[in-house]
Structures are given as C-alpha cells and as structure tokens.
Amino acid sequence: LNPPALTPEQLIQQIMEAEPPEIYLMKDIRRPLTEANVMMSLTNLADKELVHMISWAKKIPGFVELSLLDQVHMLECCWLEVLMIGLMWRSVNHPGKLIFSPDLSLSREEGSCVQGFVEIFDMLVAATSRVRELKLQREEYVCLKAMILLNSNMCLTSSEGSDELQSRSKLLRLLDTVTDALVWAIAKTGLTFRQQYTRLAHLLMLLSHIRHVSNKGMDHLHCMKMKNMVPLYDLLLEMLDAHIVHSS
C-alpha cells in the first residue's frame, strides 16, 4: 500500500527539513593563495559536502524506495550540480563572490589563480546573479535542488528489468510530486497565472545553466586530477570517476 500522498506543503516541509547543515572548511586556507592550496581547500570542502548530500538525498520522500541502482546513478550524475546550486544559494547576497563555506569565500581574482577556473567562476557568478534577479525563495530553491537529483539520470538507459521499470515509474511519479510542490510554492507568491507559468519556465531554465556549469566543472576537476594537481579524497574521487564513466 502506498503511504498517503503528501500535500505539496507537507512535501516542501520535509524537503526543507532534509537540508544539510552549514558545512565549514574548518582549516584556514593557506596563504598566499596558490593553485594547489585553493584546489586543496575546494576538494576538501566538496568531499565533506558529498557526505551530507547523500544523507540529504535519503531524506527526500520516496528516494530510498527507488532501486539502489537508480539511487547510485542519480547521485553520480548530479552531485556537482547539487553542490553548485547550493553554492549559488549561499552566494546570492554577495555579488561577485562565491561563498563556498562560511570560512571559505573567493573573489574572481582569488579564483583566477587556478588555471581554467575563472571561466567556471564567471558562469557561477552569472547564474547566481540570475538567482538574485529572480528573488528565488527558499521553498523554490529546495524544490529545484530535489528536481536536479530526481531528473538527473533520465538520460541513462536502465536495464529493462521489471524492478528497474517499477523504479522508473516511481521516479517519474516522485518527480511530478516535486513539480507540483514547486508550482504550489510559486502560486504562494500571489502572481497571476500567466506570471506563475513564466516564473516556472525561468526557474527550470536555471537548471540547464547549472547542468552546463557542472559539466564544465567536472571536466576541470578531471584535468586537475590527471595533472596530479590535488589529492582527491575517496568519496570525491569515486564520484568524479563514476560521472566520467556515465558521461563517456
């Protein structure tokens, strides 16, 4: 028997409660900033965030009911997008800067000490200014983040096993409930119907920018790894390698 369906408000409440805590680097970044110690700090922080991301995903209502294969694939596909939308959310009130954590924020010139990073930095800052322009609400933000997770591995053809097919139909239903919750959150802003549809389109268009920046970031991280620029921690390394496998 399926548990009683959650109302959009209840679903948003649960997704809000799933939010990870603020994550601190806990070590001052070594100065002067060099490519190596910026990358060291960013990868250290990312590895911590990944641990919290997995427990966040498990708290998204319905996620753990999906097949383990789908859970693994989704997280491997979208992890950097989820990190990036969180970064944008933290940076929304700091134009021109990226607030990686309360104790690690970088300006453009500080970021430019990492070869190839400034292009990604600029894309993230541009996307963040779009988020500021749209006055993204927290309810909308948590719905978008959940959609990034649930929408991430549509491109992967899963085996046609019956449990995989069952998991896929569960996934599509779950994605629709989060879409309903996002529509509900937008409707709360008191916009006319036409303005609501337009806002929904604007928010969903953000997701394609985030996917693009994430792919650029993944390539950059991969080439940092190939250059042995930075020691990658086990979870981050695993997620990077898995993403490369999926996208190749």
> Rule CB under 8 A: which residues touch other proteins?
51, 54-55, 58-59, 68, 71-72, 75-76, 234-235, 238-239, 242
Structure tokens that stand for 94 in this block: 């700091």
Q: How far is the CB of 54 from other proteins (least distance, A)?
A: 4
Give the C-alpha distances (Å, rounded to integers) separating 22 from 19, 49, 103, 142, 216: 9, 9, 10, 15, 25
CA 84/CA 80 separation, integer angstroms: 6
Q: How far is the CB of 143 from other proteins (least distance, A)?
A: 22
Q: How far is the CB of 61 from other proteins (least distance, A)?
A: 13
Question: Which of residues 59 and 132 has its CB atom nearest to other proteins in the complex?
Answer: 59
Cβ–Cβ under 8 Å, residues 218 and 28? no
Q: How far is the CB of 243 from other proteins (least distance, A)?
A: 11
